[in-house]
Amino acid sequence: MPGARAWQDPVEAVALPVLALAGALLAFGVFVWFAGASPLDAWALLFKGAFGDAFSWQNTLQRAAPLMLTALAVALPAQAGLTVIGGEGALVLGALACAALPYALPGLQGMAGAVLMLVVAAAAGAVWVALAGWLRQQRGVNETISSLLLGYIAIALFKHFVEGPLRDPASLNKPSTRPVAESLRIGGIPWGGAVTDVHWGLVIGVVLCLVAGVWLSFTASGFALRVVGGNVRAARLVGLPTLGLILTACALGGAGAGLAGGIEVLAVHTSANASLIAGLGYTGILVSFVARHNPWAIPPVAVLFGGFGAAGSLLQRRLDLPDASVLVLQGFAFVLILAAEAGRGRLLAARAPKPVVAPPPPADPNAPPPPIHASAVAN
Amino acid sequence: MSHFFSTRRDWLRSVGAAGAGLATASFSELVLAQKPLTVGFIYVGPKDDYGYNQAHAEAAAQVKKLAGLKVVEEENVPETNAVQKTMQGMISQDGAALLFPTSFGYFDPHMLAVAGKNPDVRFAHCGGLWTEGKHPKNTGSFFGYIDEAQYLNGVVAAHMTKSKKLGFIAAKPIPQVLRNINAFTLGAKSVKPDITTSVIFTGDWSMPVKEAEATNSLADQGVDVFTMHVDGPKVIVETAAKRGKFVCGYHASQAKLAPNAYLTGAEWNWITAYTQIIEAARSGKPHPNFVRGGLKDGFVKTSPYGSMVPEAARKAADAVKSAMVAGKFDIFKGELKDNTGKVVIPKGKVFKQTDMELESMNYLIEGVIGKA
């Protein structure tokens, strides 16, 4: 069986979402036509706005960068079997912690200072999401509800500090913390002799998604985490430390979102203020679900999301379509991508009967490890 | 294009010397017609929010009708690097030479960052405090003294209230908002000195649920005339009307939402500021960096009175309005105490609308129930 599926699985994993996207574009064309614009124009603009030239690519990637990190806040707890949707709270607390650190340590300078601020931001986010995990494991509180509500508390705390004790007196009509020093800020990534608008947060996001995927797929603790997510009772039975693993997954996920908040402060806003509460944490939920909580799938999905944002911007300006029209396209895309999951294992099987002779079993690192590993981990 | 120019010139030459003066005039018109000025408008919320964004979008719709102009618009743009990309996109993809980023939070750092990279493009921001020497010359800010219209709201509200309790639902205790609350209360107290205004801050610019709760809770406490300073006053207007209370609008006219409850309103008239800035860009004059104006300058206006507003109230408000238009009326003058009893404007001191002290107001005056 694994041999027969070995080539079909990756093909399906790419073909299903691509077909779903094509279907969404088709449906969007019909929608645009009803709205009185030309579907051909709309498709051309979508492509041009998202991936048409260097400017569009920068636009797309810049929007994608924070989404990769906030998606991790959903994906990692999901691997442990928890549905956490509190990335927004972790993000704003990360941003707050990052912007507050110079108040406590006024001498922060340069790269080392920036790294320290990002670590503090990640820690703040980690604590917040781990709290939701702890409440679920030790107090039986539903983690979806608690993480959502903790998000509101985080935003309230954020506003209290930004508009109260940490407010820069010079920020009259837009209450903000004091701007961070120039040397602490994160700049653009150089490309071909020029500095692009895309900041280093993109690299951090991609690297962390890759690392998270490696952790889940190639390490004992990552595998143990997936066992907990698959069947928590079986995991307990084989002696896995479920509480520790769940808290770790939540903390690492929260650290991602907290880091996103810190990067937003250092690379974009230069201080913490209410503009940070822009729903990046909530968009991360969608990204993670569309990526099926697989960290390796998060960067491309985040780029797709960034592309929708970038293309929507151009679509509004050129065709005078309302902003909501891009939401319609996103809606089509995600419903179809998620619905296409039903076709998994059927798309190719229906057309090509199982080959009689299975291809020689390759040493495939992606193939699910045999069950013996579980007991090995337990030992 | 050049071919077209040359034939036109040939034709002009054939008309003869009599047409020389005419020729230069029509030639420059032709250049304008050839290269329309592209203007970009960016809104933080939807264009039809019955509030802040609609006020801008309505004026932008008027701008669209001007000849030789191309308008590009984008709504629901958050105050993140998304707005930087939108501004840069309008410049590089649409060829915009003048941008109106209309939300307060776009100013620093977003507009300043994009303006630094595009020194030839003009940026006119709504509400910001452009400062000579600190901010680049190709940027600027415009705003209106809408507290004048809120003062008039207060005069009308005072005539209509029976409980002598007015309600003000506001987003955040920042200077622009406090100035409106104080002006509204001063207007009301000019009619009935023992009137009070209860303030509830919802914490953010668009909080429809909290706005409805605040309206209901104030109505329960006996407030019978409402006004507000939030981005979209729709929910407050509708909730107040449902409770059988009166309401004075803000940003744009909400009369359509509650014709039987809508007394009057403080509206922006952005087309005045837009036209000034656009004309400067078209004629190549220096970019107006600091543009301010009130009722007198046509930057703000009042909604037509509702049919329930009695003659006496109309007369009283109209009298103040004509004094304001004549430049003979000052809202903030001493002696003025805040609601903790502290004197905030000493006796004899009179602030003109243009005085910068008013732009950093941090108190609520006597008669306002609430905390800044």
Residue A156, pLDDT > 80, answer yes
- Interface with A, mutate which of B79, B131, B230 (most A CBs under 10 A): B79
Tell me which chain B residues have a C-beta less than 8 angstroms from the C-beta of A323.
46, 74-76
CB contact under 8 A, A275 and B108: no
* DSSP strand pairing (B300-302 vs B262-268): antiparallel
Phi, psi torsion values for B214, nearest 5 degrees: -65, -40
CA A249 to CA A84: how far, in whole Å? 11
Using a CB-CB cut-off of 8 Å, the residues of chain B touching A309 are: 82
CB-nearest partner of B105 from A172, A174, A317? A174
- Please report how the helices A87-104 and A54-79 are oriented relative to each other, as an axis angle in degrees rounded to 10: 100
Name the minimum distance, in Å, from the CA of A63 to any CA of chain B.
7
pLDDT at residue B11 tops 50: no
The reported pLDDT for the residue numbered A367 is 53
CB contact under 8 A, A317 and B72: yes
> Residue A127 has what pLDDT?
97
d(CA A168, CA B335) in angstroms, rounded, equals 30
pLDDT of residue B20: 42
Of A159, A173, A316, the CB nearest to B174: A173
The span from the CA of B285 to the CA of B137, in Å, is 12
SS3 assignment for chain A: CHHHHCCHHHHHHHHHHHHHHHHHHHHHHHHHHHCCCCHHHHHHHHHHHHHCCHHHHHHHHHHHHHHHHHHHHHHHHHHCCCCCCCHHHHHHHHHHHHHHHHHHCCCCCHHHHHHHHHHHHHHHHHHHHHHHHHHHHHHCCCHHHHHHHHHHHHHHHHHHHHHCCCECCCCCCCCEECCCCHHHCCCEEEECCEEEEEECHHHHHHHHHHHHHHHHHHCHHHHHHHHHHHCHHHHHHCCCCHHHHHHHHHHHHHHHHHHHHHHHHHHHHCCCEHHHCCCHHHHHHHHHHHCCCCHHHHHHHHHHHHHHHHHHHHHHHHHCCCCHHHHHHHHHHHHHHHHHHHHCCCCCCCCCCCCCCCCCCCCCCCCCCCCHHHHHHHC
Q: Do B92 and A55 touch (CB under 8 A)?
A: yes
Which one of A47, A55, A59, A63 would you mutate to disrupt binding with B, by most B Cβ within 10 Å of its Cβ?
A59
| Closest chain A CA to residue B362 | A172
Mean pLDDT of chain B: 90
Least confident window among A187-191, B170-174, B270-274: A187-191
Predicted confidence at residue B10, as pLDDT, reads: 45
Average pLDDT estimate for B162-170: 97
Structure tokens at A204: 């951090």
Of B105, B175, B203, the CB nearest to A275: B105
Q: Mean per-residue pLDDT for A131-148?
A: 95
pTM of the model: 0.84
Computed from CA positions of residues B88, B90, B95, B101, in that sequence, does the dihedral angle turn out positive or negative? negative
pLDDT band at A358 (very low <50, low <70, confident <90, very high): low
- Give the model confidence (pLDDT) of A224-236 as tens digits: 999 999 999 999 9
Which residues does A98 contact at the CB level (< 8 Å), separation at least 6?
A117, A118, A120, A121, A124, A261, A262, A265, A266, A272
Q: Which residues of B touch A (CB under 8 A)?
A: 40, 46-47, 72-82, 84-86, 88-90, 92-94, 104-105, 107-109, 127, 129, 172, 174-176, 203-204, 359-360
Q: What is the mean pLDDT of residues B104-108?
A: 92
Q: Do domains B36-144 and B147-267+304-369 have the same CATH topology?
A: yes
Tell me: the pLDDT tens digits for A320-343?
888 888 888 888 888 888 888 887
Average pLDDT over residues B171-199: 96
* A313, pLDDT greater than 80: yes
- Chosen for mutation from A269, A275, A308, A314 (greatest number of chain B CBs closer than 10 Å) is A275
Chain B interface test: which of A46, A51, A173, A178 (most B C-beta within 10 Å): A173
Confidence category of residue B18, pLDDT binned at 50, 70, 90? very low
Nearest-by-CA chain B residue for A309:
B82
Beta strands B139-144 and B290-293, pairing class: parallel
pLDDT at A360 over 80: no
**Which residues in chain B have their CB less than 8 angstroms from residue A59's CB?**
85, 88-89
Instruction: Flag whether residue A268 sits within 8 Å of chain B, measured between CB atoms.
Output: yes
B129–A172 C-beta distance less than 8 A: yes
- Contact between A173 and B72 using a beta-carbon 8 Å cutoff: no
**Which pLDDT value is given to residue B21?**
42
- Judge whether residue B30 has pLDDT over 80: no
* Cα(A312)–Cα(A314) distance, integer angstroms: 5
User: What band does A21 get if pLDDT is binned at 50, 70 and 90?
Assistant: confident
Phi-psi region of B167 (alpha: psi -120 to 50; beta: other; left: phi over 0): beta
| A51 interfacial to chain B (CB closer than 8 Å) | no
Kindly determine whether residue A174 and residue B175, on different chains, have CB atoms separated by under 8 Å.
Answer: no
How far apart are the C-alpha atoms of B193 and B191, rounded to whole Å? 6
| Any B CB within 8 A of A310 CB | yes
CA distance A321 to chain B (A): 9
Query: In degrees to the nearest 10, what's the CA dihedral of A364, A368, A372, A377?
Result: 100
Residue among B273, B280, B318 at smallest CA distance from B294 = B273
Tell whether A281 lies on the interface with B, counting CB pairs under 8 A: no
CB neighbour burial string for B239-258, b if at least 16 within 10 angstroms, e if fewer: bbbebebbbbbbbbbbbebb
Does residue A363 have a pLDDT over 60?
no
Q: What is the pLDDT of residue B9?
A: 45
The predicted pLDDT at position A193 comes to: 81
Q: What is the pLDDT of residues A174-215, one digit of tens each?
A: 899 999 999 999 998 888 888 888 999 999 999 999 999 999
> pLDDT per residue over B242-260, tens digit each?
999 999 999 999 999 999 9
**R_g of chain A computed on alpha carbons:** 22
Task: Locate B22 and state its tokens.
Answer: 């005419």
Quick check: B1 pLDDT over 50? no
Q: What is the mean pLDDT of residues A71-98?
A: 96
As its CATH architecture, domain B36-144 has 3-Layer(aba) Sandwich (3.40)
Checking if the pLDDT of A168 tops 60, the result is yes
User: In the prediction, which pLDDT does B34 show?
Assistant: 54
pLDDT at B274 over 60: yes
pLDDT band at B40 (very low <50, low <70, confident <90, very high): very high
Contacts of B108 in chain A (CB under 8 A): 174
Q: Is A64 left (phi over 0), alpha (psi -120 to 50) or beta?
A: alpha
B76 min Cα distance to partner chain A (Å): 7
Above 50 in pLDDT, residue B6?
A: no
Asked whether the predicted pLDDT for residue B351 surpasses 50, the reply is: yes
Q: Among A299-313, A323-337, B195-209, name the one with the lowest average pLDDT.
A: A323-337
Q: With contacts defined as CB-CB under 8 Å, which chain B residues touch A275? A: 78-80, 105
For helices A54-79 and A201-218, angle between their N-to-C axes, nearest 10 degrees: 40
Specify the higher pLDDT residue, A95 or A334.
Answer: A95
Chain A positions in Cβ-Cβ contact with residue B94 (cut-off 8 Å): 317-318
Q: Could you give the CA distance from residue A49 to residue A61 in angstroms, rounded to a whole number?
A: 12
Indicate if the pLDDT at residue A371 is higher than 70.
no
Query: Coil, helix or strand for B163?
Result: coil
Interface test with chain A among B39, B49, B80, by most A beta carbons within 10 Å: B80
Q: Which residues pair with B122 in a beta bridge?
A: B98
- Residue pair B105/B59 in contact (Cβ under 8 Å)? The answer is no
pLDDT > 90? residue B266:
yes
CA–CA gap between residue A49 and residue B85 (Å, rounded): 11
Check pLDDT > 50 for residue B14. no
- The interface predicted TM-score (ipTM) is 0.80
Determine the longest span between alpha carbons in chain A, in angstroms: 76
Share of chain B above pLDDT 90, in %: 85
pLDDT at residue A9 tops 60? yes
Give the mean pLDDT of chain A: 88
Q: Does A160 reach chain B within 8 Å, measured CB to CB?
A: no
Report the CATH fold assignment for B147-267+304-369: Rossmann fold (3.40.50)
Contact B88 A264 (CB under 8 A): no
CA distances from A355 to A192, A343, A359, A366, B247 (A): 49, 20, 8, 21, 75
Residue A6 has pLDDT above 60, yes or no: yes
Q: List CB contacts (< 8 A) between A182 and chain B.
A: none
Residue A37 is predicted with a pLDDT of 85
**Predicted pLDDT at A373:** 46
Sign of CA dihedral A285, A330, A294, A118: negative
Contact: B86, A159; criterion CB under 8 Å = no
Instruction: Tell me what pLDDT residue A375 has.
Output: 42
pLDDT of residue B216: 97
Asked whether the predicted pLDDT for residue B233 surpasses 80, the reply is: yes
